[in-house]
């Protein structure tokens, strides 16, 4: 009986499988082939070997982009998880007006990254943003020039991103917390375990599926971050906040440098596979196997 159900589901999934194979795999192969050419405005099959890759790795801008994506990925993921979890725990304390707070914290997530970017651009702008307001209220010492400081600008991007993403993680975690059996709480209080300890060492490990889901969703957003930075800093000052995705888009559309864009996107793809493969192997294969045993 279960076999039949499987066949039915496979048939139902068939269109999806075909589309993913042709669109995703096909496009990856296409990108790779054309990354070996010197295509400029339109794809041409004038093969130049790995020249585009060589050129890519010589670019100061690409180095900056790669560094930025690691900083952004790390700060954004950790920031969202910590703040999201803390918010969830606080809301879980059976507070008054819970749904109001939930709405407030989740609200940023309903906005597009472009809106988030523009809002924070104005808040963080030193000449008419928060810094200026503080000066006008008499706090002359106040300084907030992250957005125009090339060393800190990428962290300003992270702030905006965490502000938007934390609420979403909170909702996921809250759903997990609500699923925790009351009996566990009862036994924890009988044992006299401190509340923060129960959250950190008992409840959090039980939320593992939620954490994994959150990380996967956040990580997918990290790799493709583009619109937020475009709206917030447009990659500036200089190219201090540029990212690999921006580098690819720029070469595709502004710079009429298709070969270079394909090469950069293939490198992005390979790095994502390198990072995800061991983890995916563990999470979806080894664990299932262990569970089956």
Partner 1 sequence: MKKFFSIFLTLFLPLSFTNVSKAAGHMEAEVIHWWTSGGEQAAISQFAEAWQEMGNTWIDTAITGGDNARGTTVNRIIGGNPPTAAQFNISKQFVDLVEQGLLQSLEEVASAEGWRDFIYPPELIETCEFEGEFYCVPVNIHSWQWMWINNDVYKQVGLPVPQTFEEFLAGAPKIQEAGIIPLALGGQTWQESGMFGVVSSSILGFPHMQKIFRDKDVDTLRDGRFADVLNTYRELNAFTDEGSPGRLWNDTTAMVIEGKAAMQVMGDWARGEFAVAGKEAMVDYSCIIPGKEKYVALGGDVFVFPKNDDPKVKDVQLAMASMMVNPTVQAKFNNAKGSLPMRLDVDTSAADACMQMGLDLIQNPDAIMRESDDWNTPAFTNAWDDIISEFRNDPNYTVAQVMDDLEGVLTSGL
Q: By CB under 8 A, tell whether 161 contacts partner 1.
A: no
Least CB distance to partner 1 at residue 175 (A)? 38
Least CB distance to partner 1 at residue 46 (A)? 11
Q: By CB under 8 A, tell whether 260 contacts partner 1.
A: yes
Q: Which of residues 35-74 bind partner 1 (CB under 8 A)?
A: 40-44, 55, 58, 60-61
Of 126, 155, 227, 269, the one binding partner 1 by CB under 8 A:
126
Least CB distance to partner 1 at residue 64 (A)? 9
Least CB distance to partner 1 at residue 264 (A)? 13
Candidates 80-88, 123-131, 215-223, 268-276; binding stretch for partner 1 (CB under 8 A): 123-131
Task: Kindly write down the DSSP assignment for every residue of the chain, as one continuous string.
Answer: -HHHHHHHHHHHHHHHHHHIIIIIIHHHHHHHHHHTB---SS----B-TTHHHHHHHH-HHHHHHHHHHHHHHHHHHHHHHHHHHHHHHHHTTT-TTHHHHHHHHHGGGGS-HHHHHHHHHHHH-TTTSHHHHHHHTT-TT----GGG-TTTHHHHHHHHHHHHHHHHHHHHHHHHHHTS-HHHHHHHHHHT--HHHIIIIIIHHHTHHHHHHHHHHHHHHHHT--HHHHHHTTT-STTTT--HHHHHHIIIIIS--HHHHHHHHHHHHHHHHHHHHHHHIIIIIIHHHHHH-
Give the C-alpha separation, 269 to 171, whole Å.
Answer: 30
Q: By CB under 8 A, tell whether 271 contacts partner 1.
A: no
Q: Which of residues 200-259 bind partner 1 (CB under 8 A)?
A: 233-234, 236-240, 250-257
Q: By CB under 8 A, tell whether 116 contacts partner 1.
A: no
Least CB distance to partner 1 at residue 15 (A)? 24
Q: By CB under 8 A, tell whether 145 contacts partner 1.
A: yes
Q: Give how many residues touch partner 1 by CB under 8 A.
A: 35
Of 45, 99, 127, 290, the one binding partner 1 by CB under 8 A:
127
Q: Which residues bind partner 1 (CB under 8 A)?
A: 40-44, 55, 58, 60-61, 121, 125-128, 145, 147-148, 150, 153, 233-234, 236-240, 250-257, 260
């Amino acid at each position: 009986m279960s076999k039949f159900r499987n066949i039915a589901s496979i048939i139902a999934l068939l269109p999806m499988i075909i589309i993913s194979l042709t669109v995703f795999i096909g496009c990856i192969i296409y990108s790779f082939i054309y990354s070996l050419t010197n295509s400029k405005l339109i794809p041409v099959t004038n093969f130049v070997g790995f020249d585009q890759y060589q050129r890519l790795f010589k670019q100061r801008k690409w180095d900056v982009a790669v560094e930025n994506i690691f900083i952004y990925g790390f700060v954004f993921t950790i920031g969202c998880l910590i703040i999201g979890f803390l918010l969830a725990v606080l809301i879980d304390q059976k507070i008054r007006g819970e749904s109001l707070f939930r709405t407030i914290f989740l609200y940023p997530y309903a906005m597009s990254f472009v809106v988030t970017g523009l809002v924070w651009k104005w808040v963080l702008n030193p000449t008419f943003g928060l810094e200026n307001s503080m000066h006008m209220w008499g706090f002359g010492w106040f300084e907030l020039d992250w957005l125009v400081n090339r060393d800190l600008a990428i962290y300003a991007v992270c702030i905006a991103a965490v502000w938007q993403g934390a609420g979403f993680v909170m909702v996921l975690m809250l759903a997990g917390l609500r699923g925790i059996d009351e009996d566990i709480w009862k036994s924890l209080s009988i044992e006299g375990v401190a509340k923060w300890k129960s959250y950190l060492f008992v409840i959090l490990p039980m939320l593992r599926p939620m954490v994994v889901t959150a990380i996967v969703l956040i990580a997918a957003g990290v790799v493709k971050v583009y619109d937020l930075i475009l709206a917030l800093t447009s990659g500036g000052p200089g190219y201090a906040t540029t990212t690999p995705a921006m580098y690819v888009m720029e070469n595709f559309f502004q710079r009429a440098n298709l070969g270079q864009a394909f090469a950069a996107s293939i490198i992005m793809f390979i790095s994502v596979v390198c990072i995800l493969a061991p983890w995916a192997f563990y999470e979806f294969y080894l664990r299932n196997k262990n569970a089956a045993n």
